[in-house]
Amino acid sequence: MFDGILSVTIFLPVISAAIILFFFKNNNSIRYFANFTTGIVFLLSLMMFLNYDTEISGFQMIDYFETWIPFEYLRSSYIVGIDGLSAPLVLLTGILGFVSTLASLRVEKRVKEYHIWLLVLISSVFGVFVSLDLLLFFIFFEFELIPMYMLISIWGSGRPKYSAMKFVLFTLFGGALMLVGILSIYMSTDVGTLIMVSIPELNLVGIPELIQYSDLLLPASFIFILFFIAFAIKLPSWPVHSWLPDAHTDAPTAVSVMLAGVLLKMAGYGLIRINIGFFQNTKGFSIYDASVFISILAAISVVYGGIITVRQTDMKRLIAFSSISHMGFVMLGVSAIGTSNSNTSIAGINGAALQMFTHGTITGLAFLMVGFTYERTHTRHIPHLGGLWHKIPIIAVFFFISGFASLGLPMLSGFVSEIMIFLSTFTIWPIATIISAFGVVLAAGYILWMIQRIFFGVKPPDEIFSDEIYDQIEDVKKIDLLPILLLTIPVFLVGIWPSLLTEIINLGVEGVLR
Amino acid sequence: MNLNDLKLLSPEIFLSVSSLFLLVLSLSKVDVKRIVNLSIISLIITILLVCNLWFGWLFEPSSKNSLLGSFSSDNFSLFFKLLILLSSLITVFGSFQYFVSEKTRNYFGEFISLIFLSIVGMMLLVSSTELITIYVSLELSALPIIVLLSIHRTKLGIESGIKFFILSAFSSAILLYGFIYLYGLTGSTNLLLIQESISKMSLNEGSTFITYGIIISIVLIIAGFSFKMAIVPWQMWIPDVYQGAPTPVAAFLSVASKSSAFAVIIRMFYTSFTNEDLMLDWSLIFAVLAAITMTLGNLFALNQKNIKRLLGYSTIAQAGYILIGLAAIPGGNSMNFSGIQGSMYYLGGYLFTNMSIFIVITIIISRTKDETIEGLSGFIKVSPVYSIILVVGLLSLIGMPPTVGFMSKVIIFGFAINSGYPWLALVGVINSVLAAFYYLRIIRFIVFEEPSTTKLTQVHLLRDNRTILAGSICSILVLLLGIIPFILLEMSKKAINFI
pLDDT tens per residue, range A113-172: 889 999 999 999 999 999 988 888 999 998 888 899 888 888 888 888 888 888 988 998
- CA pseudo-torsion sign A377, A382, A383, A389: positive
- Closest by alpha carbon to A439, among A326, A286, A284? A326
A50, part of any domain: no
Residue A1: is its pLDDT beyond 60?
no
A260, part of any domain: no
Sort residue B204 into left (φ over 0), alpha (ψ -120 to 50) or beta. left
- Closest by alpha carbon to B482, among B370, B389, B410, B405? B405
Task: Say which of A139, A140, A187 has its CB closest to residue B414.
Answer: A187
Q: Tell me how far CA of residue A494 lies from CA of A42, A487, B5, B146, in angstroms.
A: 18, 11, 79, 73
Question: Min CA distance, A158 vs chain B (Å)?
Answer: 14
CB atoms A154 and B448 under 8 Å? yes
What is the Cα–Cα distance from A118 to A113, expressed in whole angstroms?
8
DSSP string, A236-297: T-TTS-THHHHHHHHS-HHHHHHIIIIIHHHHHHHIIIIIIHHTTSBTTB-HHHHHHHHHHH
A259, part of any domain: no
Shortest CA distance from A146: residue in chain B: B400
How many CA atoms, within 13 angstroms, populate the side-chain half-sphere of residue A426?
A: 8
What was the pLDDT predicted at B335?
Answer: 47
What is the Cα–Cα distance from B261 to A458, expressed in whole angstroms?
76
Give the number of other CB atoms < 10 A from CB of residue B24.
11
Q: Domain residue spans in chain B?
A: 284-499
Q: Which residues contact A162 (CB under 8 A, 6 or more apart)?
A: A246, A250
Length of chain B: 499
In angstroms, how far is CA B238 from the centroid of its own chain?
A: 13
Q: Which residues contact A262 (CB under 8 A, 6 or more apart)?
A: A89, A92, A93, A96, A125, A360
Residue B83: is its pLDDT beyond 70?
yes
A49, part of any domain: no
**Structural domains counted in chain A:** 1
A504, part of any domain: yes
ipTM given for this complex: 0.86
The verdict on A22 touching B (C-beta cutoff 8 Å) is no
Q: What is the mean pLDDT of residues B107-112?
A: 85
- Closest by alpha carbon to B243, among B152, B317, B169? B152
A32 CB-contact burial (10 Å; exposed 0-12 / middle 13-18 / buried 19+): middle
A344, part of any domain: yes
A262, part of any domain: no
Q: What is the mean pLDDT of residues B105-120?
A: 87
Residue A67: is its pLDDT beyond 90?
no
Longest dimension (CA), chain B: 72
Length of chain A: 514
Domain of residue A488 covers 286-514
What was the pLDDT predicted at B414?
Answer: 84
Q: Which residues contact B114 (CB under 8 A, 6 or more apart)?
A: B144, B145, B147, B148, B151
Sort residue A66 into left (φ over 0), alpha (ψ -120 to 50) or beta. alpha
pLDDT in tens, A340-395: 788 888 888 899 999 999 999 999 999 888 888 888 888 888 888 877 888 888 88
Contacts of B395 in chain A (CB under 8 A): 146
Task: Say which of B400, B409, B489 has its CB closest to residue A71.
Answer: B489
| Mean pLDDT taken over chain A | 86
pLDDT band at B468 (very low <50, low <70, confident <90, very high): confident
Chain B contacts to A (CB-CB under 8 A): 338, 341-342, 395, 400-402, 406, 409-411, 413-415, 417-418, 420, 422, 425-426, 429-430, 432-433, 436-437, 440, 444, 447-448, 485-486, 489
Question: Min CA distance, A54 vs chain B (Å)?
Answer: 35
Question: Min CA distance, A112 vs chain B (Å)?
Answer: 13
Q: Which residues contact B81 (CB under 8 A, 6 or more apart)?
A: B11, B50, B123, B126, B127
pLDDT in tens, B195-250: 888 887 765 565 666 778 888 899 999 998 888 888 878 888 888 888 888 888 88
